[in-house]
Amino acid sequence: MPGKWIKVVELDGFQKTYKYVHRRKEVALFKLDDGVYALDNSCSHEYSPLCEGMIVDGDVYCPKHGSRFDVRTGAVKDYPATRPVASYPVKVEDGVVYVKI
């Protein structure tokens, strides 16, 4: 996968979600029990920041209309969204979160 690893945030720098802006792209980071995951921050149905959504059992709910996405893959799991959101590789090294964008 092309892209560059970008240093985003210290792992201890956020509780559950974190919004990172790289150039004009917004990326939402989600900290779960099994790791950190990154998705586009915008719901694919209508713009709404996913980093502000509720996280339940590894899914994030869009705060605007309730679309549900798998935090690990970006797959749509509930309407009204019908298209997935992009997901990005994440690695944690020495307590720092990196995202490949």
Among 9-13, 26-30, 44-48, 94-98, which stretch is predicted with the lowest mean pLDDT? 44-48
- The radius of gyration of the chain's CA atoms, rounded to the nearest angstrom, is 13
What's the pLDDT score for residue 51? 96
Beta bridge partners of 25: 22
For residue range 15-57, list pLDDT tens digits in order: 999 999 988 899 999 999 999 999 999 999 888 999 999 999 9
Structure token pair of residue 100: 């490949």
**Looking at residues 49-76, what average pLDDT do you find?**
95
The average confidence (pLDDT) of the chain is: 94
The Cα–Cα gap between 95 and 7 comes to 11
What domains lie within the chain, and their CATH numbers? 5-93 (2.102.10.10)
**Looking at residues 58-65, what average pLDDT do you find?**
93
Structure token pair of residue 87: 């997901």
Which pTM does this prediction carry? 0.92
The Cα–Cα gap between 99 and 28 comes to 10
Q: Is 64 left (phi over 0), alpha (psi -120 to 50) or beta?
A: alpha
SS3 13: helix
What's the pLDDT score for residue 1? 53
Burial 22-34 (b: 16+ CB within 10 A, else e): eeeebbbbbbeee
